[in-house]
Amino acid sequence: MNAILSLIAVIALILIALLGVKTANLHSLFGIAVPYAAMAIFLIGVISRVLKWGRSPVPFCIPTTCGQQKSLPWIKQSKLDNPSTTSGVIGRMLLEVLLFRSLFSNTAFELRNGPKVAYGSTRWLWLGGLAFHWSFLVVLIRHLRLFTEPVPACLSSLEVLDGFLQIGAPGLLLSGVVLLLAVTYLFLRRVLIPEVRYISLAADYFPLFLILSIALSGIIMRYFTKVDIVGVKALTLGLVSFNAVIPEGISVVFYIHLFLVSALLAYIPFSKIMHLGGVLLSPTRNMPNNSRMERHINPWNYPVHVHTYEEYENDFREKMKSAGIPVEKE
């Protein structure tokens, strides 16, 4: 049900772009105004969300320690899984962000008769997630060629690398295909694994469908309808230099693609896709386990009502004396 609603929402977005451009001829709205607005929402939204997180303090030092602590000099510390220094934390974070290290250690269990609980490694989510994010990144970077003139050499070489399979003309780019497959996998596991389906909200399917249709519309433009790339580039260069004009003859598929991307941009700050920022701010991962060595400060630490020793002794003085326990007041 959640999946179907999300699918309907994405189809609605496609129809809006289609009708808006084809029927209502609102080229400048969909080609210029909407992308600008989306970008503005994205930037302001992301920044304000991160600032909002940042405004809440980190009162305690609560890293999840996943390896040996630093203690006696002859005991080998797990410097990455239980870092006690900033460089260790940076290492831990880099491995998380670039390689999804925690997901790599994922396991699955099975309850057999006996009872016997058996565990095994499962790396499919890690692989699918990694493929998805990295291909997403490559696709994103490749798009920079639309916004630069001349195109920097590094972008061109990335494209050569990406197209090393050299299939068809224009050459098949691996990243797009991987992205499509990875998103499909992420969707399938969401509907096929009962637990994951049970926890999935519409907000979990929506970005997947959105990205799927962005990728599909991109692929259609590149390999099938062969969009007027010169015209597109004129528009995109215009957009970045803030004097955009709508060139004639760009197909509606492009406008749909652009509208979906705009929708994604505008959606990000309000959604779970903000995890990119959140992971960097997650106290269980980005803090060193050094709280016995260095004092962390809780900015809102306040005095509390305690039961003092004096009160305790008043309650138990006679019993303490008879048990031979020294007291302050005889």
Partner 1 sequence: MSKTPKPDELSKVDYTPPKTGWMDTPAEFKQGMWCYGSKPKNLETLEFPNPRQWSPADEDWKLPENWQEILLNGLKERLDKYRSFKVFMDICVRCGACADKCHFFIGSGDPKNMPVLRAELLRSVYRGNFTTAGKILGKLAGARKLTYSVLKEWWYYFFQCTECRRCSVFCPYGIDTAEITMMARELLNLLGLNTDWISGPAANCYMKGNHLGLEPHTIVGNLEYMLDDIETITGIKIKPSFNRKGAEILFVTPSGDLFADPGTYTAMGYLMLFHELGLDYTWSTYASEGGNFGFFTSNELAKRLNSKIYAEAKRLGVKWILGGECGHMWRVLNQYMDMWNGPADFLLVPKSPVTGTVFENAKSTKMVHIAEFTADLIKHGKLKLDPKRNDHLKVTFHDSCNTARGMGIFEEPRYIIKNVCNHFYEMDEHTIREKTFCCGSGSGLNAGENMELRMRGGLPRANAVKDVVEKYGVNMLANICAIDRAALPAILDYWVPGTGCTGVHELVANALVMKGEKERTTNLRGEPLNGMEGQE
What part of residues 75-134 is at the interface with partner 1 (CB under 8 A)?
A: 75-76, 78, 81-82, 84, 96, 100, 102-103, 105-109, 111, 114-117, 119, 125, 129
Q: What angle do helix axes 2-18 and 252-267 make, rounded to 10 degrees?
A: 130
Applying CB under 6 A, which of residues 226, 275, 292, 296 lies at the interface with ligand HEM? 275
Report the C-alpha gap between 10 and 181 in whole angstroms.
Answer: 19
| Residue 276 touches ligand HEM, criterion: CB under 6 A | yes
The continuous run of DSSP H or E covering 188 comes out as helix 174-192
| Residue 97 touches ligand HEM, criterion: CB under 6 A | yes
Q: Residue for token digits 């080609």?
A: 31
Q: Is 108 helix (H, G, I), strand (E, B) or coil?
A: strand
Interface with partner 1 in residues 190-229 (CB under 8 A): 193-204
Of 278, 246, 293, the closest CA to residue 29 belongs to 246
Which of partner 1, ligand HEM, none has residue 156 at its interface (CB below 5 to 8 Å by kind)?
none
| Residue 238 touches ligand HEM, criterion: CB under 6 A | no
Count CB neighbours of 40 within 10 A.
Answer: 12
Residue number with CB closer to ligand HEM (272 or 292): 272
Which listed range, 16-24, 58-66, 202-210, 228-236, lies at the site for ligand HEM (CB under 6 A)? 202-210
Interface with partner 1 in residues 142-161 (CB under 8 A): none
Applying CB under 6 A, which of residues 100, 254, 255, 267 lies at the interface with ligand HEM? 100
Closest CB 161 distance from ligand HEM, rounded Å: 21
Q: Per-residue DSSP letters for 20-75? A: IIIIT--HHIIIIIHHHHHHHHHHHHHHHHHHHHHHS---S------SPPS-STTS
Applying CB under 8 A, which of residues 14, 16, 27, 53 lies at the interface with partner 1? 53
Q: Is 210 helix (H, G, I), strand (E, B) or coil?
A: helix
Report the C-alpha gap between 201 and 198 in whole angstroms.
Answer: 8
Which of partner 1, ligand HEM, none has residue 208 at its interface (CB below 5 to 8 Å by kind)?
ligand HEM
Interface with ligand HEM in residues 5-64 (CB under 6 A): none
Report the C-alpha gap between 110 and 230 in whole angstroms.
Answer: 56
Residue number with CB closer to partner 1 (36 or 60): 60
CB 165, CB 174: distance < 8 Å: yes
| Residue 173 touches ligand HEM, criterion: CB under 6 A | no
CB 164, CB 174: distance < 8 Å: yes
Q: Using alpha carbons only, give the angle 182, 278, 196 rounded to the nearest 5 degrees.
A: 45
Applying CB under 8 A, which of residues 22, 33, 47, 59 lies at the interface with partner 1? 59
| Residue 146 touches ligand HEM, criterion: CB under 6 A | no
Chain contacts with ligand HEM (rule: CB under 6 A): 97, 100, 129, 133, 186, 204, 207-208, 211, 272-273, 275-276, 279
